[in-house]
Chain A
Amino acid sequence: MSADVQQLAARLSKAVAERTAIDPLTDEVPDLDLETGYAVQRVLRDQAGPLAGWKLGVTSRAKQAQVGVSAPVCGFLPAAAALDLGEPLSVSPLIQPRAEPEIVFVLGRDLAGAHCTAVDVLSATAGLAVGIEVLDSRFRDYRFTMADVVADNTSAARYLVGTPVPPAGIDARLVGVVLEKNGELVATASGAASLGHPAAAVAWLVRRLALSGEGLRAGEVVLSGGLTAATPVVAGDVVTVSIDRLGTVEMAISS
């Protein structure tokens, strides 16, 4: 089994290196389950260099209903995948990039435990920030099962985090979210779009990490789940995300 996991991870790494979409792993391994998906992701994480944090996926009830699950999934954020403020997103290394708005948690202290709740998350949070996640499924046309997408590190590719603000007095559930592309409105939402409350999504992550004896560390960032459907991006686009009380980030897309 472990040989399989290594081989499946290698297939995903090759797709990234060659910038070529592949068929879902489950086309060939129909009984690939969620935990094996996480085992593949773990192999990729061990090869990814320093870790900057984590991300949630499948956090909207609508999306969960659509794929027939009742829980989100998580992935890791390599430090090397971070874009800096003002830095354009270069799409030439990517396959089929899409951008989505996120509320980003910046941890002020370590946080672990199998019984973590949203309240624990909020008390451990040093800052909240507006963010943009760039997804890039390695599977053709974003066609995948839950096990596939977990193996593929939940389609994570790049991410941009705005300037964090202190979380006191901010109800992350109610803040308004506006996604624009090239100056035109694409979608709106409020924070509740991620699992009813973004801090509840982060708490789920902490409980999930506790299964493998892991946790969040001070200074790590957590992308708490896409708040609208992801919008495809091409060179020349500009993506803007505004979140009430957190601010605005803008990302130019270059070739």
Chain B
Amino acid sequence: MPVSDSLDAPGKARALYEARRTRIPIAPFTDADPSLGMAEGYAIQRELLPLLLADGDRVVGYKVGLTSTAMQRMVGVDSPDHGPVLASTIYRDGDALPLDRFIAPKVEAEIVFVMGERLLGPGVGPTDAARAVAGAAASMEIVDSRIADWRIKLADTVADLASNGAVAVSSRVVPLEGLDTRLIGMTLTRNGELIDTGAGAAALGDPLAVIAWLANVLGEHGVALEPEHLVMTGALHAAVPLAAGEVYRAEFDRLGPVSVRVTAGAGVAA
């Protein structure tokens, strides 16, 4: 799809970069130009990434969003979207999550895959995806929006690294043998109280289908999934806003738990 000359992707990428740095959100790009769509969103994302990498960050994988039909309907698309996951945003099981690193964070429990082999589209199916995956692990994505009040349309969220904020990943990576990823059950608790439940099928019908979709889309630009890359496969439930003092725990059948403690941030004991 051709991208309009008047887009000024570098300028918009710079605005997002500053919003990430200052934690001061910006108005949706689609307010000024409602015609912006998926192609423009990715054009801006492609300009934003080098700015972040120039600060010393690196790409350790991808997140895939809009993997449920409910979410796709909300933003008026019929496909998921994707963005890079950066090394600086990775948390481990049990880590403190400082709120002052985010603008308006929400948590989503997700199945994450760790790649074992290089996977390059096109033509990748779920079986190829399963073969290339080293294993699955319990994870939570912290979604965040550099767009004020989450007032996002498709182009806005795609440009903003698909609204990725951070990911918390269990270090226990479980091989897929004998596992039906559609049926992996999940419970999410906040301070020990059940918030929501779900199963793998909530992500595009099967989390492995998410890997195949991503490999094929990246493949159009000659980009491959590399060994040890993480792929966040999409929320299994509705996102939950975070507040300081809360402990979130996502437990997955066959994969185990992952938890984060939400803290106020700088100067406050974690």
Contact indicator A185/B202 (Cβ below 8 Å): yes
Are the C-beta atoms of A190 and B185 separated by less than 8 Å? Answer: yes
Contact for B187 among A178, A190, A244, CB less than 8 A? A190
Smallest CB separation, A115 vs chain B (Å): 23
B202 touches A244 (CB 8 A): no
Q: Does A191 contact B (CB under 8 A)?
A: yes
Is B199 touching A192 in the complex (CB atoms < 8 A)? Answer: no
Residues from chain B with a CB closer than 8 A to the CB of A193 are: 197
B198 surroundings in chain A (CB, below 8 A) = 176, 188-190
A10 to chain B, nearest CB (A): 40
List of A residues within 8 angstroms of B200 by Cβ: 176, 188
A45→B253 CA distance, assembly (Å)? 38
Given A188-B199, A190-B253: A176 touches B194 (CB 8 Å cut-off)? no
Cβ A244 vs Cβ B197 within 8 A:
no
Whether, in the assembled complex, A217 has its beta carbon less than 8 Å from a beta carbon of chain B, the answer is no
Nearest opposing residue in chain B for A193, CB measure: B197
Q: For residue A174, which residue of chain B has the nearest CB?
A: B253
Write the B236-261 contact mask toward A (1 if CB under 8 angstroms, else 0): 10000000000000011100000000
**Chain A min CB distance to B56 (Å):** 39
Neighbouring A residues of B23 by C-beta, 8 Å = none
Question: Is B18 part of the binding interface, using a Cβ–Cβ cutoff of 8 Å?
Answer: no
- Closest Cβ of chain A: how far from B67's Cβ, in Å? 11
Tell me which residues across on chain B come within 8 A of A108, comparing CB atoms.
none
- How distant is the Cα of A185 from the Cα of B252 in the complex, in angstroms? 20
Q: Which residues of B contact A227 (CB under 8 A)?
A: 197
Q: For the complex, is A41 an interface residue (Cβ under 8 Å from B)?
A: no
The minimal Cβ–Cβ distance linking B255 to chain A, given in whole angstroms, is 10
Q: Which residues of A contact B252 (CB under 8 A)?
A: 174
Say yes or no: is A242 at the interface (Cβ < 8 Å to chain B).
yes
Among A171, A192, A196, A244, which residue has its beta carbon within 8 angstroms of that of B183? A244
**Interface residue SS majority, chain B:** mixed
A243 within 8 A of B: yes
Nearest CB of A to B16, in Å: 33
B residues near A244, Cβ cutoff 8 Å: 180, 183-185, 199, 253
**B253 A192 Cβ-Cβ under 8 A:** no
A185-B69, A190-B186, A244-B180 known; A177 and B194 CB under 8 Å?
no
Q: Does A91 contact B (CB under 8 A)?
A: no
Other-chain contact of A61, B186, B194, B199 (Cβ < 8 Å)? B194
Contacts of B69 in A (CB 8 A): 185
- Interface class of chain A by DSSP: mixed
Interface size class of A (residues with CB under 8 A): 20 to 34
- Decide if A191 touches B183 in the complex (CB within 8 Å): no
Q: Which residues of A contact B185 (CB under 8 A)?
A: 174-177, 189-192, 244
A98 within 8 A of B: no
Question: Is the C-beta of A11 less than 8 angstroms from some C-beta in chain B?
Answer: no
- Say whether A173 faces chain B, with CB atoms less than 8 Å apart: yes
Q: Is B201 engaged at the interface, CB distance under 8 Å to the other chain?
A: yes
Interface string of A237-255 (1 = CB under 8 A from B): 0000011100000000000
Q: Shortest beta-carbon distance, B139 to chain A, in Å?
A: 16
Max chain B CB contacts within 10 Å: which of A178, A191, A193?
A178
Q: How far is the CB of A229 from chain B (nearest CB, A)?
A: 12
Q: Please, which residue of chain A has its CB at the minimum distance from the CB of B181?
A: A176
A174-B185, A176-B201, A244-B185 known, 16 other contacts, Cβ within 8 Å: A61-B194, A171-B253, A174-B253, A177-B185, A178-B201, A185-B69, A185-B202, A188-B197, A188-B200, A190-B185, A190-B186, A192-B187, A192-B194, A227-B197, A242-B182, A244-B180
The 5 residue pairs across chains A and B that have the minimum distance between CB atoms: A176-B199, A190-B185, A176-B185, A244-B183, A174-B253
Interface residues of B (CB under 8 A from A): 69, 180, 182-187, 194, 197-202, 205, 236, 251-253
Q: 24 A-B residue contacts at CB 8 Å?
A: A174-B186, A174-B252, A176-B198, A176-B253, A177-B197, A178-B201, A185-B69, A185-B205, A188-B197, A188-B199, A188-B202, A189-B185, A189-B197, A189-B198, A190-B186, A190-B253, A191-B185, A192-B185, A192-B197, A196-B194, A242-B183, A244-B183, A244-B184, A244-B185
Binding site for B on A (CB under 8 A): 61, 171, 173-178, 185, 188-193, 196, 227, 242-244
